[in-house]
Amino acid sequence: MSSLSSSSLPSSAAAIVLAAGMGTRMKSALPKVMHPVLGRPMVSHVIAGAEGLGLSPVAVVIGPDMAPVQKVVAPHPTVEQTERLGTAHAVLQARALMEGVNGTILILYGDTPLIRPETLHNMITLREQSRAGVVVLGFRPDQPGAYGRLVTDAEGHLQAIVEAREATPDQLAIDLCNSGVMAVDGSALFGWLDRVDNANAKGEYYLTDIVALACADGRLCCVVEGDEDELLGVNSRVELAQAEYIAQDRMRTAALENGATLIDPETVYFSHDTVLGRDVMVGPFTVFGPGVTVADGVDIKGFCHFEQCTVASGATVGPYARLRPGAEIGVDAHIGNFVEIKKAVVETGAKVNHLTYIGDARVGSKANIGAGTITCNYDGYNKSHTDIGAGAFIGSNSSLVAPVAIGDGAIVGAGSVITGAVDADALAVARGRQESRPGWAARFRAAMQAKKK
């Protein structure tokens, strides 16, 4: 969600992202790390954080049959953990991909998408400057529960990580807990992992055991503390909803701090890449899907939905408007209630104010599109383009059957079905001729009443 320049890091660093778990508590055929937060998979947030810090290589440990994860993390390399024998075993699978890395190796988790880049930066900086063997990211939750405890000495240096099920009562009283995220000396990591055994309650190879091994080798181990919210690991749909709530709250706060106004912030929903300019006004119940950029001074009147579109400065959108992929709304353009725009350019000052569908089209500068107008862009097999010239006026309830061009300044009469080109400054009317039959309605009613007798 935010990024830091890698230039401020003391030396090169790499990352291993653990993403092999299916997440049975998610009750989903989709791998756990593929579930979205802010409109993109959780693992993509983790990868983006590593990329923002300039970490290289970034290796991802996946499980069997996880082609979707492999695809979404590309071009970063993946390695398969065929047997799930614990976190130490998972990290060991990336040994070949980390060959030659002697700086810091950051160990991250694909189901922990909310860690701030600043926190990871602090971990790497501390490890490099102190020459620590291991730096662990800790936190102090309100309910430590099943979290592993970080055992420190009088000087605050980390001595060991104890799993909750193997902790003594005194250790369980410790409120400093393990997030699982580590920054480790790359020249020593795999040597320590080779020495980890599985003599524990779960019979697994714990990554946490490398802290005691590092201390036994005389290496300093340290703790960096993070906020509980940023260290939320997602293992269920409930936790996924919690992560989304936290992420949305961050995006809303950032939008407000950067100069946008949200009338009812908790009803506005963002994606990870939403961009709002200064003095943007956002009404309630507005949803920004991925790929949306809104320039300065735009007025969004609420109950709108945006996805993969751009809105230029001074435009007005909504209420109840939908901008679909490829919509480009120009400077000072008006998009009104119950209007849908898809793969179309609405140029400067144009107005599409009511109950209208514009797809695969260009609406020229200062054109005015009447209520109920439809660009008929699809014939069941192919999409075709509609071109509406600058200053054109399209009367209400008109259908423009693509491919078709309406010239600059042309007028289309209300209720027309336009199937051919309309010249600039011409009037086009294409509808049945009105016929009036005096007295017909009265005679009809009398005949119907007579049938009821």
Stated as kind and residue range, the H or E segment containing 62 is strand 58-62
Does pLDDT of 4 surpass 60?
A: no
pLDDT tens-digit profile of 374-429? 999 999 999 999 999 999 999 999 999 999 999 999 999 999 999 999 999 999 99
pLDDT tens-digit profile of 259-298? 999 999 999 999 999 999 999 999 999 999 999 999 999 9
**Are residues 318 and 283 in contact, defined by beta-carbon separation less than 8 angstroms?**
yes
Q: Which residues are catalytic?
A: 354
DSSP state of 133: S
3-state secondary structure of 150: strand
- Residue numbering of the annotated binding site for acetyl-CoA: 371, 377-378, 396, 414, 431
* Mean per-residue pLDDT, 105-113: 97
3-state secondary structure of 307: coil
- Residue numbering of the annotated binding site for Mg(2+): 111, 235
Q: Per the structure block, which two tokens stand in for 89?
A: 């075993």
- Could you identify the residue written with the tokens 């593929």? 34
Q: What's the pTM value of the predicted model, to 2 decimals?
A: 0.90
Does pLDDT of 6 surpass 90?
A: no
pLDDT tens-digit profile of 120-174? 999 999 999 999 999 999 999 988 888 999 999 988 899 999 988 888 999 999 9
Residue 140, burial from CB neighbour count under 10 angstroms (0-12, 13-18, 19+): middle
Please tell me the distance from the alpha carbon of residue 335 to that of residue 397, in angstroms, as a whole number. 17
Q: How confident is the model at residue 11 (pLDDT cuts 50, 70, 90)?
A: low
Domains contained in the chain, CATH given: 6-231 (3.90.550.10), 260-428 (2.160.10.10)
pLDDT tens-digit profile of 13-53? 999 999 998 788 999 999 999 999 999 999 999 999 999 99
3-state secondary structure of 125: helix
**Are residues 429 and 417 in contact, defined by beta-carbon separation less than 8 angstroms?**
no
Stated as kind and residue range, the H or E segment containing 88 is helix 87-92
Sequence-ordered list of residues with C-beta below 8 angstroms from that of 249, at least 6 positions apart, any chain: none
Residues above pLDDT 70, as percent of the chain: 98
Helices (H) and strands (E) in the chain, counts: 9, 35
* Mean per-residue pLDDT, 88-96: 96
Determine the angle formed by the axes of helices 117-130 and 42-52, rounding to 10 degrees. Answer: 50
Please tell me the distance from the alpha carbon of residue 436 to that of residue 154, in angstroms, as a whole number. 99
Sequence-ordered list of residues with C-beta below 8 angstroms from that of 206, at least 6 positions apart, any chain: 86, 87, 88, 163, 196, 200
Nearest by Cα to 97 from 26, 19, 31, 14: 14
- Residue numbering of the annotated binding site: 18-21, 32, 81, 86-87, 109-111, 148, 163, 178, 235, 324, 342, 357, 368, 371, 377-378, 396, 414, 431
* Mean per-residue pLDDT, 429-446: 93
Per-residue pLDDT, 2: 44
Please tell me the distance from the alpha carbon of residue 298 to that of residue 315, in angstroms, as a whole number. 5
